Structure 1
Amino acid sequence: MSAAQIKTATCYHCGDECAGHPIHAHNKDFCCQGCLSVYEILSKSGMCDYYDITKNPGVSRKTLVRKDKFAFLDQKDIVASLISFRDEKETHVTFHLPQIHCSSCLWLLENLHRLNKDVQSCRVNFVKKEATVVFNHRTTSLRGVAELLTGIGYEPYISLQQLSKRSTFFNRGKILKLGVAGFCFGNIMLFSFPEYLGIDIHEGSLVIMFRYLNLLLSLPVLFYSSSEFYLSAWKSLRHGFLNIDAPIVLATLVTFGRSLYEVLSGTGSGYFDSMSGIVFFMLIGRVLQDKTYEQLDFERDYTSFFPIAATRVVNGEEEIVTLPGIRLNDTLLLHHHELVPADGILTRGWAVIDYSFVTGESVPVVKEMGEIVYAGGKQLEGNIEILVIHEVNQGYLTRIWNRSDNTAPKNRNGSFVNLLSRYFTILLFSIAALSACYWYFHAPSAIANVVTSILIVACPCALLLSNTFTNGNILRILGRKGFYLRNAQTIEEIGDVDHIVFDKTGTLTSNREPHIQYDGKPLSALLKKQVTSLAKQSSHPVSRIIAGWLGNNGKMSVLAFKEVPGMGIEGIVEEDLISLGSSFFITGKHEYDATGSCVFLSVEGEHWGTFRISNRYREDVPLLLKNLQKKYSISILSGDNAAELPYLQGLLGMDTHILFNQSPAGKLDYIKDLQSKGHKVMMVGDGLNDAGALKQADAGIAVSDNQNNFTPASDGILKAEALTQLDRFIRMCKANRVIVLSAFIVSILYNIIGLSFAVQAQLSPMIAAVLMPASSLSILLIAYGCSNMVARRLKLAAKTDDNQVFA
């Protein structure tokens, strides 16, 4: 195979480029043995039509899963906590499979029974990236199902959180209330049509029957469907303020009371249709708002990041133990790429720990025997053993999280809608009371009609509906572009911010391969192989990065290899002495480079060149920061060293607050300091090191690179590729208030006109009841149309793929 062919070969299974020499089998190229194995499994089962659905549909298998990784699924207590149903013949379990990405995944997973006859069915929820598997537990086990999924590239993601059954579920009670309100509203309207249109006087018995049927149908709406508003209004009154639900509850009760009086006295049919209709429409808005992100979890804690079990060594024997069962002085065996579940002392092996998620420091830390390793780090090379010095719930990672839980709660009662409704309610009651006093002295018989008409025509339903539907539509628009907010209140919080704080590592920069630049004498093909062969002898991540950048094609023998921790490596490759390391290791001088980390190369003692390794900033991040800087104060915090300070100062100016070497506590304190100065702060971060700051900020936004990333508790989740549109998202949130206020002004104009007739006893409750839903419908059209118009102006209206929502 020619060099050109080797360079351009792509894996038939996953589509990745085949670095070095691809594996050629079955007249196809594969990037690794794992991808070839999956192809052979599918081929043996007659399922190669999987590859006809989408080109290169598979998931890369370069990183193989160790054989006994799912041994913990043999424990009955763990199995019992994961399964959803079991009888004598079958077991049902739902796995989170973050690798699901296309229609081919759906096809393969839903044909899982063809790979293993013990699997009876598999149903995939593409949006949640979950698969519900039904299997025969008499012939296979839960572990067997997990290993089957892993074998074809869909390793289940099982976390400690699942042991505590803390998954969030949608409030089905609200759906039932909506269904009841809709059923009653529709039938009340149907029974009201004969009287609206006029009915033969000789059919008076039918009139009475329809009126009592409407009364009966209104009772479930009054006592069940409306309970949502009763509870909200009662809670607000208990805390000493009026929210928007209070006048709605009053209008509902007054409308029902007046209608009940008319039906029982035989003086009219009442206004049950208006009462049930407004409850129905308000519930629609709330259900849509809640339903939008039921599959997202904004309340994740450290347990959803931790694995469910670890390997404990007792008297030389390995055993599986759940994390809550880990005790002080236990010895834990950690395998390659496993998370450190508890603080401990390294007792065996050489640890290379990636703490980027915990501290924000992007450079892995090398630990030797006798040193402490902290929970939350990931072991990157080989197996190690640690002696536990803190239990899981007392470790460093847990303490960071618990401190974020102890931050001051945010003010969530400051919505401008509640403020408007408070004054609206006071004004409404005042007008009703004054009108009642006036008519008491002029025509006491008109008081009931006047007060009822005022309360019905001035019901703040239009304000509530405009706010609810505008918020719901904006949440939908933002969600389609990859920005998911916890609730509607977050829209207001984002619209009020005046200072934006960015975490650097993993937020402004990508967690993927860093940027590498080589300066120096040219590297020949032979020298590249020599350097690659030397670099591959070291387990240090920087050495692996250089080896990967050079092509991973070095297969030369290395003699007299020596590695000086913290300094560098050297060895004889093809009779040449090759050295890689720090400036002091290579040249004997200390040199500092502001653009990033430097690795110096020497050949036969002569300084040959320098590899400059720096963070790779996300595409268009400089443009985003410049756009935001025009309207907001910007701060950048990082757990990294200050190597990139000159670059960021050149980008944002010398006056911008840019702080490095920041601990999680330091970030949290920085947010508090800004808030103490009166700033409304948005924090944009990605890892647990940002958890306290995200929670303390007025609006905390967690950036996620992919579906399997852990996103700490936050007010919003932002897909990494959508980060560059953050300025547009903020402008969309700011437009929310203008749209709602515009709809409210229209509602006020309607109320002024209606009230002017109502206080003069010239507006009957029947006409008021007809005008109220008509006004509400017009307000909905205004709110929906305006929010869509703003989205088009901001270029946020275009639809994206439907598979963007992740758990």
Structure 2
Amino acid sequence: MSKNACFHCGLEADASKIMFDNKPFCCNGCKTVYEIFSTNDLGCYYDLQNAPGATPKDIEGKYNFLDNPKIVDQLLEFNDEDTQIITLYIPHIHCSSCIWILENLNKLNPDINSSIVNFGKKTVRVSFNFERVSLKDVVTLLSSIGYEPYISLDDYSVGKKRVDRSLIYKLGVAGFAFGNVMFLSFPEYFQVGEFWLEQFKPLFRWLMFAFSVPVIFYAAQDYFISAYKGLRSKILNIDVPIALGASVLFIRSTWEIVFDLGTGFFDSLTGLIFFLLLGKFFQQKTYTFLSFERDYKSYFPIGITKITSEDKEESIQVYDIEKGDRLLIRNEELIPVDCILIKGKARIDYSFVTGESKTVSKQSGDKLFAGGKQLDGSIEVDVLNSVEQSYLTQLWSNDVFKHDKELSFTNITNSISKRFTITILLIAFVATSFWLFTDSSKALNVFTSVLIIACPCAIALSAPFTFGNMLRILGKKKFYLKNASVIEQLAKINTIIFDKTGTITANKETTIDYEGLELTTAEESLLKSTLRGSNHPLSRSLYTLLNEHDILTLDTYQEHLGKGIEAKYQDHNIKVGSAPFVGLATDNATLNTTVHVSTNNHYKGKFTFYNKYRKGLSKLFNKLKSEYDLVILSGDNAGEKSNLTKLLPTKTKLLFNQKPEDKLEYIKYHQSEGATVLMIGDGLNDAGALAQSDVGIAISENVNVFSPACDAILDASKFNQIYNYIKASKGAIKIIKWSFALSFIYNIIGLYFAVTGQLEPVVAAILMPLSSISIVAFTTICTNIIGRKLK
């Protein structure tokens, strides 16, 4: 950066003559931004990259429309109590400095709770206290520091950015120029005599130059910009060799036609850029396809209870919800859509949305937002709009809930890419020096061919395309992973822990017997109303069994994890759960799972559950036993021990009467002993264990209770396929290793021909994107083969 360049944005600062803190600025806007950062101890912004900012535009009065509550309400993603959340599209996001400053907005304004950047989509998700700072203030702050958000008012939508067709335009320019330059080069190729030499040779050569100018200065500009930014940040990225090779070709070719030394290499240059852009276009399209499949077709197997006009209940998939539907939201269930509370007492935990564990109470008529979790019994709501499945995906994948799990193949890729460029530059310069002394006519070809043929793009694409396609395939097989790192972690596990009730047992096929004093109609009605609010597998089974009764609106409801439920209606109270919970000594005589009931502190009786284990359970455990340590951790009594001992392999550990905190400690202890743990549970009592494990899988059986704690959601019907899914994850890792090996072999062979002068630059330009395309094709075909083996 020159001495007269603006310290903030890098533009020329001579004319403005604005100096502050011994630093030049092109305008008062940049000077103000620098002052803001300096005052708030954010000067590190300039350490990450030289002149990373943009000149802030005049914003006075520009965002007055954000004073309109109706417009603001349409723009906001979340608006409750004292917190508002909005996702803004920021076109100017381009480097690490941008990410750093945008994720430190709370230092510029302490009323901003958090801000998370999605670099790929160029968005920032801002949570702020709207009682002390308005949306207009947030947007104005962003604009004042050079990060003006793009807000579309046509349909009150944020981030509805125009489709970027720049790559298509550049590809079109490069293709047009390449075709014409090749056509004009035919006389040179075929050594045409008098007519060419005497009259049209100079004209054709200058026409080739003219066609090459827009290619080098427009079509190839992204490579030069990327290389420049990398060098300015003291980083040798993968675009440096490409920019260097293209520059040498253009300068050498221009030199030859200016001094009439030859026809130059314009055919190679235009061909190089055209084929590079073609490869880039293919990669972009393929990756967009994989992302689309992941975001919008991977519907979670989540069910919700819909109340029909006849006051009957039916379970439907969340993406079948329509505006105007009446829904029943049970205790611990996630609210899948924006809705209005109609009946019941709502105590909502919005930590899924905001990242903060703070509950809010709501009354009938209040608006409830998608992503909240009901914590106080059951409620009835009216739907305001249909569910946007991708929003639930976004909440589940929120950075707030990500574990610090390293994606080692990403780290390997980054490491290879950095070292690769240095190695290639050294080889290029050494090989060129050798040919300059032996045969100078080959030197330029060798230099350019080496820079182009050896590209780490193929290596860089291996992991994302393999993992991306595997996420898509597993999603189609009803196994939904939070992100790519889960595949890698799943391939490393050596210990698998299962919950029992609702995990290895099939609730729908369970038979139930009652033993004890007969329940009155009023007691049955109270029991049914109490069970209606619970999502525990035993509660759901028992609720379905009981006869229809008038549903009561309970005065109090409380669910004690791992123990039971208690509720009160007028002068009647009820307890449902374990024997100690209802005031009875431990029921050791029973060899099956039991649920006890007491009303008004008088013991009434017990329901005995005769569990039906999931189809293929024994076969699944026999497949897993040779490779993994298997454990059953159950909160129930040991009544099922004898049945499980007969059903499961002899080495399976069986532990009963385990409280949620016991499960957590068990996993933590074994991890300290070197175990890599996969925990499979129902997502209710197991949230802590799922979060602590290296991979946590929640089994879903039309129940809307998945939590941020789990890394994957498995449809209950696919339980017997767990071994195959783990095997597929290991297969994905093997595919990445094979594609790494293929990339290295390709580069070694390509470099041999380039260094020995047997490879023309234009041929190298064709082979380079072909190598990337071949790697993508290889990973896609291999992952699809694995996918076909899955049932």
**Structure-2 change in CA distance of 1:425 and 1:540 (3 Å):** same
Is 2:243 the counterpart of 1:253? yes
User: What do the CA deviations read for 1:191-215 (whole angstroms, capped 9, x no partner)?
Assistant: 4552576688537646644554454
Distance 1:660 1:706 in 2: 26
**Structure-2 change in CA distance of 1:664 and 1:250 (3 Å):** farther
Q: Where does residue 289 of structure 2 map in the other structure?
A: 288
Distance 2:747 2:239 in 1: 18
Matched-pair contact (CA < 8 Å) for 1:184–1:276: no
Is 2:759 the counterpart of 1:768? no
**Structure-2 change in CA distance of 1:520 and 1:234 (3 Å):** farther
The aligned runs of 1:713-728 (5 Å cut-off) are 714-728=710-724
Letter in 2 for 1:496: K
Distance 1:622 1:742 in 2: 34
Distance 2:379 2:768 in 1: 69
Distance 2:359 2:578 in 1: 38
Is 2:74 the counterpart of 1:83? yes
Query: How far is 1:406 from its partner?
Result: 8.6
Which SS does the other structure have where 2:294 is aligned?
coil
Query: How far is 1:517 from its partner?
Result: 4.0
In structure 1, list runs of 5 or more residues that go unmatched.
1-75, 86-167, 239-245, 342-356, 359-374, 383-400, 522-526, 555-564, 569-579, 602-606, 797-807
Is 2:510 the counterpart of 1:515? yes
The aligned runs of 1:267-346 (5 Å cut-off) are 267-269=264-266, 270=269, 271-295=272-296
Distance 1:589 1:469 in 2: 54
Is 2:734 the counterpart of 1:734? no
User: What do the CA deviations read for 1:307-327 (whole angstroms, capped 9, x no partner)?
Assistant: 9799899xxxx99999899xx
Is 2:410 the counterpart of 1:409? no
Q: Where does residue 749 of structure 2 map in the other structure?
A: 753
**Structure-2 change in CA distance of 1:751 and 1:599 (3 Å):** closer
**Structure-2 change in CA distance of 1:291 and 1:764 (3 Å):** same
The aligned runs of 1:339-358 (5 Å cut-off) are none
TM-score, length basis structure 2: 0.54
**Structure-2 change in CA distance of 1:297 and 1:583 (3 Å):** closer
Query: How far is 1:625 from its partner?
Result: 3.3
Q: Where does residue 362 of structure 1 map in the other structure?
A: none
Which SS does the other structure have where 1:83 is aligned?
helix
**Structure-2 change in CA distance of 1:694 and 1:422 (3 Å):** farther
Letter in 1 for 2:295: E
Which SS does the other structure have where 2:295 is aligned?
coil
Q: Where does residue 183 of structure 2 map in the other structure?
A: 194
Match of 1:624 among 612, 620, 629: 620
Query: How far is 1:547 from its partner?
Result: 7.9
Matched-pair contact (CA < 8 Å) for 2:347–2:359: no
Matched-pair contact (CA < 8 Å) for 1:312–1:321: no
The aligned runs of 1:14-29 (5 Å cut-off) are none
Query: How far is 1:290 from its partner?
Result: 2.8
Q: Where does residue 377 of structure 1 map in the other structure?
A: 375
Distance 1:496 1:698 in 2: 9
Distance 1:482 1:689 in 2: 23
Matched-pair contact (CA < 8 Å) for 1:312–1:319: no
Distance 1:250 1:543 in 2: 63
**Structure-2 change in CA distance of 1:381 and 1:412 (3 Å):** closer
TM-score, length basis structure 1: 0.53
Letter in 1 for 2:448: T
**Structure-2 change in CA distance of 1:537 and 1:784 (3 Å):** closer
Which SS does the other structure have where 1:712 is aligned?
coil
Is 2:497 the counterpart of 1:501? yes
Distance 2:746 2:691 in 1: 41
Matched-pair contact (CA < 8 Å) for 2:428–2:451: yes
Alpha carbon RMSD of aligned pairs, Å? 5.9
Match of 2:468 among 456, 472, 476: 472
Which SS does the other structure have where 2:490 is aligned?
helix
Which SS does the other structure have where 1:292 is aligned?
helix
Query: How far is 1:454 from its partner?
Result: 1.6
Letter in 1 for 2:246: F
Query: How far is 1:596 from its partner?
Result: 0.2
Letter in 2 for 1:594: L
Match of 1:595 among 592, 595, 606: 592
Matched-pair contact (CA < 8 Å) for 1:440–1:447: yes
Query: How far is 1:597 from its partner?
Result: 0.2
Which SS does the other structure have where 2:238 is aligned?
helix
Matched-pair contact (CA < 8 Å) for 1:626–1:652: yes
The alignment-based identity, stated in percent, is: 29
Which SS does the other structure have where 2:491 is aligned?
helix
**Structure-2 change in CA distance of 1:713 and 1:726 (3 Å):** same
Distance 2:565 2:732 in 1: 56
Query: How far is 1:761 from its partner?
Result: 2.3
Letter in 1 for 2:293: T
Count of paired positions: 539
Query: How far is 1:593 from its partner?
Result: 1.7
In structure 2, list runs of 5 or more residues that go unmatched.
1-66, 77-156, 258-263, 303-331, 381-395, 532-537, 551-562, 567-575, 599-603
Distance 2:638 2:729 in 1: 34
**Structure-2 change in CA distance of 1:435 and 1:679 (3 Å):** farther
Letter in 1 for 2:375: G
Query: How far is 1:490 from its partner?
Result: 3.4
Match of 1:455 among 446, 451, 457: 451
Distance 2:764 2:786 in 1: 33
User: What do the CA deviations read for 1:633-653 (whole angstroms, capped 9, x no partner)?
Assistant: 233445555554554454445
Matched-pair contact (CA < 8 Å) for 1:435–1:759: yes
Distance 1:504 1:477 in 2: 28
Which SS does the other structure have where 1:612 is aligned?
strand
Distance 2:479 2:524 in 1: 41
Which SS does the other structure have where 2:758 is aligned?
coil
Query: How far is 1:621 from its partner?
Result: 3.7
